[in-house]
Amino acid sequence: MPEVVAGVDVDAPPEQTWAAITDWERQGEWILATTVRLRSASALGVGTEIEALTGMGKVGIRDRMRVTEWDPPRRCTMQHTGRLIRGRGIFAVAAHRGGSRFTWTEDLELPFGLIGRLGWPLVKLVTRWGLQRSVNRFASFAQSYPAAPPG
């Protein structure tokens, strides 16, 4: 599967970084041109479902996801279940230099057969740029996010 990876150092402990990442409905504050809403009763753990809309105005791409792996405060894997966006997204957090390192990986199933494969080099550049801009914005978001309670 084609893969895109973006990462950033965060001046916050892993637990705080994790809490900021998994505040699903606030992801629009750091993911470019995106709004996110919770679609399941539970907001935490395997089975959690969210929906993201990325775009401008009424034009956008809808991305439905389900949490398939939950290992706080280290790793969350989401399965993209929409018609256009398929594959998996992985949020990983690691202790790093007195703070943490956040890495966002997307392993995507390309749509549109041969056309999708031929267009992938351009799509990858745009996707990588967007993910890196978003994780850079995330660093500031996480640093100001309320610290997770102990325990």
56: three-class secondary structure by DSSP: strand
What is the C-alpha to C-alpha distance for residues 144 and 78, in angstroms, rounded to an integer?
Answer: 25
- Residue 12 covered by a domain: yes
- Residue 98 covered by a domain: yes
Quote the pLDDT of residue 117. 84
Quote the pLDDT of residue 149. 56
Range in 67-71, 79-83, 146-150 with the lowest mean pLDDT: 146-150
Quote the pLDDT of residue 151. 44
Q: Taking residues 30-39, report their average pLDDT.
A: 96
State pTM to two decimals.
0.92
Phi, psi of 83 (to 5 degrees): -75, -40
Residue 33 has pLDDT above 70, yes or no: yes
Domain limits for position 113? 3-143
CB atoms inside a 10 Å sphere around CB 126: 10
Per the structure, how many domains does the chain have?
A: 1
**pLDDT tens digits along 84-135:** 899 999 999 999 999 999 999 999 988 888 887 888 888 899 999 999 999 9
- Residue 149 covered by a domain: no
- Residue 148 covered by a domain: no
| CATH number of residue 106's parent domain | 3.30.530.20
Contacts 24+ apart (CB under 8 A), 43-47: 44/70, 45/70, 46/70
